Structures are given as structure tokens and as C-alpha cells.
Chains A and B, each alone.
Chain A
């Protein structure tokens, strides 16, 4: 069984940041592997280690810089990687359909049996690509998966979906399928030094639109960010000033007034 795992390099804003135009200033952003995707990578690698998967291929859409991120997936055990990028994607805010166009083209080439990805990306928080991709390519799907047991012989993924309020839904999903995973699904490993060294030798195939048989029109986004701002705080919190001792002392008074520790 071949497992494709979709990963994204996400930007995280520093505690102090400036907004320039319709984005956060580049110097105030740090890039990292999307937390949710880290769990998807772990799930894929575990399937390989238990003999269920023969090959794990990581795929990402991102500029050259994101190779650093995708190497994390390779260092953790993915066999090889595909990175899709094109100048036509520079500076746009891609909508779900255009991301699905790109992933569909990769799926056509790779023909995976199972696709795993994070349920959402920490930066845009759209939470949509995996399920939309499943619809496009005719795979079954399940979103917000927090427990996964693949029965390859039966061709079924037994999953739990984490609903709101401490309830999990138990679902059987026929393969091939796209599963989007929630944090807590497993314990993502740290990349070992050996893994990091090995990752340097693994293949990252770079593809642009023409390699995938697409044109710039295919990835034209229907979405445009027109403004970005810090949300107005409606807070009327009393901020307790002073050093640790002083502020703890004042807070203790407040808590005692509320009957705490009595």
C-alpha cells in the first residue's frame, strides 16, 4: 500500500509583529512544519513500520524554502518527497480548489491507496483541502480523525472522529481514502540525527505547473485578502503589575476575596 502524506510549511507570527499591507512582516514570521501534518507524518511512518504501507511519499505545495520543512518528514521516515511550486503561485492566497488542482495532479502520478494530512493548517485555518481532494479524486474520506487502525486486507480504515464535547464517532471508511488527522492521534517522533542525515540523500522531486499538466488559469484563486489587522481587544481585564512576587501577592489577595484557598 502506498501512503501519500500532505504536509505544509506554515508561518507563525512572533509575539510582537508588524502588519505590512495584507500580511505580517516577513521578519516577524517563523516557518515550521504544520503541527497537524506532523501527526499525519507519524501515522504514515507507523503504517510503514508495521508493514501495512510499502511506501510513504510526502507532498507539499511551497517555495524552495519549504524543502527544509519537507526534509523533516523525510527525516522522520517518509521515503521520498514531491514539492510543487510555480511562480504563478507567488503572492496569491490560494483557494481550496486550486490547491486541490495541484494535489490531484500529484495523486494521478502517484496513485496512492491512502492519503493522510492534517485537518487544518495553523496559519490559514481553512481545514478543507483533504476533504475537497477526496471529492475530486473519488476517494472516501473522514475528517478530524484522532484514532486510526488500517485493515489493509479488508481495505478498511477504522477511525475515530473527534466530535465536540468529548464524544468520538466510530467510523469505517473504505479505501482508498483521504483522512485528515487531529492532533493527539499519536506521539510524533523527533527526527533522529541519523534520520536527518539520511533525509539529505532522499529525493525531493520539484514540480511546476507544466510538469503537472496545469496552467496558471487552473490555480487562479477566487479569494483575495483585502485587509489584515489586529483584532480589537474587548478586554476589561485588570492587569496586575509588578515583579513576580508583587503580582503574585496582589493576585493572592484577589483570589482570597473570591474565597479561594479558604
Chain B
């Protein structure tokens, strides 16, 4: 049974998750002895189609409509192509845009949806590995039925490589009138400091508890000659401006040293800092995911450890 992957692009570039979804889609197609079809909707579809023609892709469908993501167009194109090729599975990136139409697509097709897969296995039926309880546990989930929409987490599958010999065709799809219109884009939080340029970052998370306590990590950053950054909750609370946020929706940083203070290490945060040369974590919870990617860790209360560390450099 064939598998359809829908690629994702933004402002003229295909996003890496598109190639990762192709790898996941190929895996499923192999298990089900089917072809792998890839759809690309909007933008420079011809150039995109060429780039998406990687090893393992059997067919590419280019739907020439609009420049940027429009969930109605994506949903309509995916639904129609899934019907045309009799797709057993539609695989999409578990991205912000994926989540903006995958649930509607599954509902439209009348098939089961499983989001944020980190692993898949197909043996008579689909079993998906997912995380729960804020990444504290992994689960395997059996999916009844043989048709589904699946979104795959970024960074879990290697990107498809090589040059394929897929057939490429322009697909005409009836696109509905949209009641949601994209009117533009906005870069957030330019600000005075670019944390992406810093060699050393002291990054603060939820563990700091109160805004007043930020002073403590500011002192540490000063003592170390480092730049202060933060995880999402600190920015959500308005304690630091958006340009200080590290993570999937914030900045991707690659400093020489990244010191995570009171940060548990949610997957969205890790996506923004895992490329740091040396990662240091200070956290009370020994099971916090941040320790999985740290090079050095202190399991302890930041309110005890940080003042001592400030003294060391004073």
C-alpha cells in the first residue's frame, strides 16, 4: 500500500523535516510493499520537486498553488492525492504547520491520527513509539485499522539523501476558498543582543521560580563573562525578552559552553541548543532530560550551587 509524504517549505526553502519525513515514509512503504509518493504544495514547486527527488522516492506531485503554507490548500492537496494513489498512510512533519492541518486531514479522510511519532514499526498493523508526560516516559501505541495520518518528530529519522529517479508530475488539485488568509510574516525579538553570537551562554529555566531570582543567574553570567539566555517559560512569563529564548521557536545556538540552570530539557528546548560544544546542566531532578545531552552535570539545587559558582569566579 502506498505512502504519501507531504513536504514542508518556508520562505523559499524546503525544511529539513521534509527529508526526515521521506525516510520515515520510505520505512513504512517498505513494510507495506508500496510506493513512496511525495507531494509539495506551493512555492517554487519545480525546484522543490527536483530537490525532493531523493533515493527511495517513487513519485513526486507538484501542486502549484500560492507561495507559502495555507492549511486549506495543503489539506485539500493531501486528501485528493491520498485518494488518487490509494495511500495507506500520509506522513507529515510534526511541525507547527503540520499540526495546523494534519488533524483536519485525518478527520477529512476518516482515518486515525497519531502525532509526534519518534519510532514506527509495522507488523500486521502500525505500532508507534511516542513520548508522554513531558518526555518522562516512552510508550508504544497500537493503531487499529490500516489507514492513518502520522506526524513524525523532527530529528528522529535521518534525512533522505542521494538522487532518486522518481516520476515528477504537476498535479492539478481543486483548492477550496480559504477562510484563513496569511497576511505576512514577522521576525520576533531582534533586540540588542544576539544570543546566537555568544561563546558562552548561561541559560535559565523554570527552576528559577521567581523573577526576583533572575538576579542570581545574571550575577553568574557577569562573573563568567557570559551572555544570558533562557528557556521558553521565562520568556512566556515576560521575565526576559523573546530574543533571549533558546529553542525550536526561539533561537538555535551553538556556543562553546552552554550552562543550563534549572532547565529540565524539553525536546523543544534541546532542539535549540544541542549543537553546543560543551553542555553543563544544574538541576535538582536527576531524571531531567537535560542530563541526557549534558557533558557535565550537577544534581543539586541551583540556589545552593550558583552562588558558590559565582564566588569561584568573583
Q: Is A210 an interface residue (CB 8 A)?
A: no
Smallest CB gap from A235: residue in B: B292
Q: Known contacts being A100-B107, A237-B295, A260-B224, is A248 close to B312, with CB within 8 Å?
A: yes
User: CB-CB < 8 A to B237: which residues of A?
Assistant: 187
The answer to whether A144 and B107 touch across the interface, beta carbons within 8 angstroms, is no
**Chain B stretch 87-128: residues in CB contact (< 8 A) with chain A:** 94-97, 99-104, 106-108, 112-116, 127
Q: Known contacts being A143-B99, A171-B181, A251-B309, is A123 close to B298, with CB within 8 Å?
A: no
A22 to B305, CA, bound (A): 37
Q: Which of B22-30, B38-46, B160-168, B184-192 lies at the binding interface?
A: B184-192
The answer to whether A240 and B296 touch across the interface, beta carbons within 8 angstroms, is yes
User: CB-CB < 8 A to B309: which residues of A?
Assistant: 248, 251-252
A248 to B302, CA, bound (A): 10
**Chain A stretch 182-228: residues in CB contact (< 8 A) with chain B:** 182-184, 187, 222-228
The answer to whether B187 and A126 touch across the interface, beta carbons within 8 angstroms, is no
Q: Which of A51-59, A61-69, A79-87, A159-167 lies at the binding interface?
A: A159-167
The answer to whether B100 and A142 touch across the interface, beta carbons within 8 angstroms, is yes
Secondary structure type dominating chain B contacts: mixed
Contact partner of B180 (CB less than 8 A), chosen from A142, A187, A249, A258, is: A142
B79 to chain A minimum Cβ distance, whole angstroms, is: 11
Q: Is B249 an interface residue (CB 8 A)?
A: yes
B246 to chain A minimum Cβ distance, whole angstroms, is: 11
Q: Mark B230-241, 1 if CB is under 8 A from A, else 0.
A: 001101111000
Q: Is A89 an interface residue (CB 8 A)?
A: no
Q: Give the number of residues in B that approach A within 8 Å (Cβ atoms).
A: 97
A43 to B293, CA, bound (A): 36
Contact partner of B132 (CB less than 8 A), chosen from A124, A131, A224, is: A124
29 contacts between A and B (CB under 8 A): A13-B134, A15-B287, A127-B94, A127-B116, A128-B106, A130-B103, A132-B113, A136-B107, A143-B96, A164-B96, A166-B189, A167-B186, A169-B68, A170-B185, A170-B186, A171-B182, A183-B233, A222-B112, A222-B143, A228-B138, A230-B138, A237-B293, A239-B291, A239-B296, A239-B298, A244-B300, A244-B304, A244-B308, A249-B308
- B residues sitting closer than 8 Å to A (CB atoms) are 10, 68-69, 71, 94-97, 99-104, 106-108, 112-116, 127, 130-145, 179-189, 200, 223-226, 232-233, 235-238, 242-243, 245, 248-252, 256-257, 278, 280-281, 284-287, 291-301, 304-306, 308-309, 311-313
| With A226-B141, A249-B308 already in contact, 6 other A-B pairs whose C-beta atoms are closer than 8 Å | A96-B107, A127-B94, A128-B115, A170-B184, A233-B292, A239-B299
- A residues sitting closer than 8 Å to B (CB atoms) are 11-13, 15-17, 19, 22, 24, 93, 95-97, 100, 119, 122-132, 134-136, 140-144, 160-174, 177, 182-184, 187, 222-231, 233-240, 243-245, 247-249, 251-252, 254-255, 258-261
